[in-house]
Structure 1
Amino acid sequence: MKDIKVCLVSDTVYDLNGVSRFIQDFAKEAKSYKKEFTVITSTKKNHYESIENIYNLKPIFSIKMPFYKSLDLVMPNFFKIKNNIKKLKPDILHISTPGTVGLCALISAKLLKIPVVGIYHTDFPSYLYENTKSEFVRKITLLYLKVFYKNFIALFSRSNEYVDIIQKQLVFKKRDLYLLKAGINIKNFDKSFKDENIWEEYNIDKNSFKVLYTGRVSIEKNVDKLINIWLEENFLDIKLIVVGDIEIKLDSSKLEEKGVYLLGRKQKEALSKLYASSDCFIFPSTTDTLGQVVLEAMSSALPVIVSDKGGPKTFVSEEFGYIINIEEKNQIIKAIKELKNKDEVYKNKSEKAYNYMRDKSISHSFLDFWEINQKILENLFKK
């Protein structure tokens, strides 16, 4: 079979999150391997880096997404999306988000008779339930997703945990579900970026034990529970370093005296240094389908603490850190204090986390993704 053309459409490409970094890295890998892979998005946001196979079609208007303030809810120009897809003539269309941009792509694919495949990046029913605590909202979201994904010929899951969830929730046939191999840019996240002098910039004692969290500071990520632990406990020389957009109300005046530092958005080398220069990583989210930031932390040689619910628990083991019930405060404190000892157990977890990531490059993930897409098309032609 001749090499294929793939077009991926996503509502999020220029945002500061794991999905955006993943798509950007895929676009770069496609260029390096000379694959015909194009990304289409629609946002008023700009990116610090121009990637030639990513097309940003300016939307008609945009507003802040409810419950996800770092994302925009846009009204895309349907005809621009449809015409660009028609011009590209892809053999297969990937839709990585079920938002307004993804919906325009889905309708376009139906009109242009292009087979559609999806990537299930976000567990929206759980995400919205955590933010609203409304069972009605969860059920409506689930109903929308069932309709949205109904005519997809295949769907990729980011972790084994969600293969079963997708099959049950979306009533999707298991034979049409594929695991998207985990991968990150391991060159950008590596222990070689360690630089203890960076802590002077943030007025943080470099000799303290630094627990890092990266991602949105929001309800469904459970970061508020972490912060409350620091406010209630006297950790003294244990600091919580929080990197990302803040989407919940916090009294920042009280935080630093309790050892909580909100550093905001960080990108490129600044982010790489923060990973490599911290002592461990904690990710309390229970709704992430993968948790790319956990992979980035492990690639930076950090032992990790993750929830026993969600995607990260499928690749994290006791060799690399701890899998805990995030609702149990004592489990969180126990894991952090054990790591703080910096003993042989800590060193082994750090080394094994780093070594585990050596073959989890974005290149491995992209090439596996490409091969599966070729198989999907071959099977389609056989029918």
Structure 2
Amino acid sequence: MNLVFLTNILTPYRLSFFDQLYKNCEKNGINFYVLVMVGEKSDRPGWEYKKFRRKYTVLLENKTILVGKIYFHFNKNLSEILLKLSPDIVVCSGSYLQPSVIKTLKFKNKFNYRVYFWSESHLLEKRNYNKIILKLREIIRINILQKFDGFLYAGKYSKEFIDVYKSKKARLFLLYNSIEDDIFYSKNQLLRQNRNDLRKKYDISNEKYMFFSPIRLEVVKGFDVFLKGIRSLDNEIKEKIIFVVAGNGSLRDKLVMIAKKSNIDVRFLGQCNQDSIIELYAMSDCFLLPSISDSNPLTVVEALWSGLPILISKHVGNGPETVEEGINGYVFDYEYPDTIIDSITKLVNSSSIWNDVARLKSIEIAQEKYNKNNICNDLIAYFMEIFNNV
């Protein structure tokens, strides 16, 4: 069997999955390739094909056009590469609007392969589109998504999205997102033993309840809305907590001002490398992701493998799979501001027993759903069944 993934750009968070999938495909006699539409993007510095390339990757010839805020990649040699690789199954990831995705659908009967779309979108994502754009988006979604033979979906919310647009014959497979679980889990177990030293290194008091957010400081991540939503926290609670944020973005100055005016202790660390991120997970009390739109963030999975309680907004796409309400964390709703205040208050006042149980539950969820090797083996078994029954 020949299995091909088509993606817009190689990313550090996908490489781990692709590496594992390639390894497992080799063991099963499957030829595996990843076709890459573009070598680098100006809005993602450091994500360069020459840095991430593998022996299973192919960089397509590319011409990119920027329309508004969307990059469209035109790969003129796509059909030539598909003909050469002779895939049995092609999995498209990224945006279904990409010309190469539409082209892949166009050639599926001619080249005799099946096309799947790896979807992480969900219906709770917020977009500031006008009615005309929303109507146009619906028409495009229906016309494109109904042409796929099947979908890989990341959880409950992404399945609800697919169910709205897929054809009746389309097949579905649950594919949880994965990370370098062995690194995050093993390193965290060691580092947590030196939690006090880590707190000292980052000049954070051991007496503070620490929320950690590895996020871009942009509107979509919702940190400005979140800070405004917790202004009414009791001063006693405010004095006990600190929010540590790893990441850069255009809202940094605004966020610093909001935090200062609201008398909320926030530490902005800027961009951090993976080693620092793992240290920050290890010294934290809780993971926080306040996004107003987030399809299926891998940081939540990182937090699970790090054994942290989880606090996220309802707009985080993998909430149903990662949070058991009141057991290993809470999901809040911006439409009901009290849910933010109540969740933080419960977390800060939680007992050591609750925290121990929450940590164990997060790790249990990670091991049950987000083991990278198991995910790849299950996907291969699924595609092999389809291939053998054609």
TM band (smaller chain): 0.7 to 0.9
Greater Cα shift, 102-111 or 233-242: 102-111
1:93 aligns with 2:90: yes
Structure 2 Cα separation of the partners of residues 351 and 253 of structure 1: 34
Structure 2 Cα separation of the partners of residues 118 and 81 of structure 1: 17
In the TM superposition, residue 198 of structure 1 has moved relative to its aligned partner by 4.5
Q: Of 178, 183, 186, which residue of structure 2 is paired with 1:188?
A: 183
Structure 1 Cα separation of the partners of residues 248 and 172 of structure 2: 33
1:328 aligns with 2:336: yes
Change (3 A) 1:50 1:286: same
SS of residue matched to 2:140: helix
Unpaired runs of 5+ in structure 2? Answer: 41-46
Unpaired runs of 5+ in structure 1? Answer: 15-19, 67-71
Matches within 5 A, 1:227-266: 227-229=227-229, 233=233, 234=235, 235-248=238-251, 250-251=253-254, 253-254=256-257, 257=260, 258-266=264-272
Structure 2 Cα separation of the partners of residues 52 and 256 of structure 1: 47
CA distances 1:156-178 after superposition (whole Å, capped 9, x unpaired) = 2111233233112x143276222
Aligned twin of 1:69: none
Matches within 5 A, 1:172-321: 172-173=167-168, 176-190=171-185, 191-192=188-189, 193-194=191-192, 196=195, 197-199=197-199, 202-229=202-229, 233=233, 234=235, 235-248=238-251, 250-251=253-254, 253-254=256-257, 257=260, 258-285=264-291, 287-308=293-314, 311-315=317-321, 316-318=323-325, 319-321=327-329
Please tell me the residue identity of whatever aligns with 2:6: V
Aligned twin of 1:349: 358
**Structure 1 length as normaliser, TM-score?**
0.82
1:363 aligns with 2:373: yes
Aligned twin of 1:122: 121
SS of residue matched to 1:241: strand
Change (3 A) 1:356 1:150: closer
Change (3 A) 1:146 1:199: farther
What is the RMSD computed on CA atoms of the aligned residues? Answer: 3.0
Aligned twin of 1:52: 55
Identity of aligned residues (%): 18
Change (3 A) 1:206 1:162: same
Structure 2 Cα separation of the partners of residues 11 and 108 of structure 1: 18
1:152 aligns with 2:161: no
In the TM superposition, residue 306 of structure 1 has moved relative to its aligned partner by 2.6
Please tell me the residue identity of whatever aligns with 2:121: T
In the TM superposition, residue 228 of structure 1 has moved relative to its aligned partner by 2.3
Please tell me the residue identity of whatever aligns with 2:113: I
Please tell me the residue identity of whatever aligns with 1:188: I
Structure 2 Cα separation of the partners of residues 213 and 137 of structure 1: 32
Contact 2:35–2:57 (Cα < 8 Å) also in 1: yes
SS of residue matched to 2:127: helix
SS of residue matched to 1:131: coil
Greater Cα shift, 363-372 or 54-63: 54-63
Please tell me the residue identity of whatever aligns with 1:341: N
Structure 2 Cα separation of the partners of residues 199 and 64 of structure 1: 45
In the TM superposition, residue 301 of structure 1 has moved relative to its aligned partner by 0.6
Greater Cα shift, 231-240 or 323-332: 231-240
Contact 2:120–2:158 (Cα < 8 Å) also in 1: no
Structure 2 Cα separation of the partners of residues 92 and 13 of structure 1: 20
In the TM superposition, residue 9 of structure 1 has moved relative to its aligned partner by 0.8
Change (3 A) 1:54 1:244: farther
SS of residue matched to 1:337: helix
Structure 1 Cα separation of the partners of residues 105 and 372 of structure 2: 27
Structure 2 Cα separation of the partners of residues 110 and 247 of structure 1: 45
Greater Cα shift, 297-306 or 263-272: 263-272
Structure 2 Cα separation of the partners of residues 308 and 200 of structure 1: 34
Q: Of 63, 80, 84, which residue of structure 2 is paired with 1:83?
A: 80
Change (3 A) 1:102 1:327: same
Change (3 A) 1:106 1:218: farther
Structure 2 Cα separation of the partners of residues 138 and 296 of structure 1: 33
Please tell me the residue identity of whatever aligns with 2:151: L
Please tell me the residue identity of whatever aligns with 2:208: S
Please tell me the residue identity of whatever aligns with 2:254: D
Larger Rg: 2
In the TM superposition, residue 281 of structure 1 has moved relative to its aligned partner by 1.1
**How many residues end up aligned between the 2 structures?**
361
In the TM superposition, residue 119 of structure 1 has moved relative to its aligned partner by 0.9
Structure 2 Cα separation of the partners of residues 83 and 199 of structure 1: 55
In the TM superposition, residue 27 of structure 1 has moved relative to its aligned partner by 1.4
Structure 2 Cα separation of the partners of residues 64 and 268 of structure 1: 33
Please tell me the residue identity of whatever aligns with 2:175: L
Structure 2 Cα separation of the partners of residues 346 and 154 of structure 1: 40
SS of residue matched to 1:162: helix
Aligned twin of 1:13: 10
Structure 2 Cα separation of the partners of residues 198 and 174 of structure 1: 53
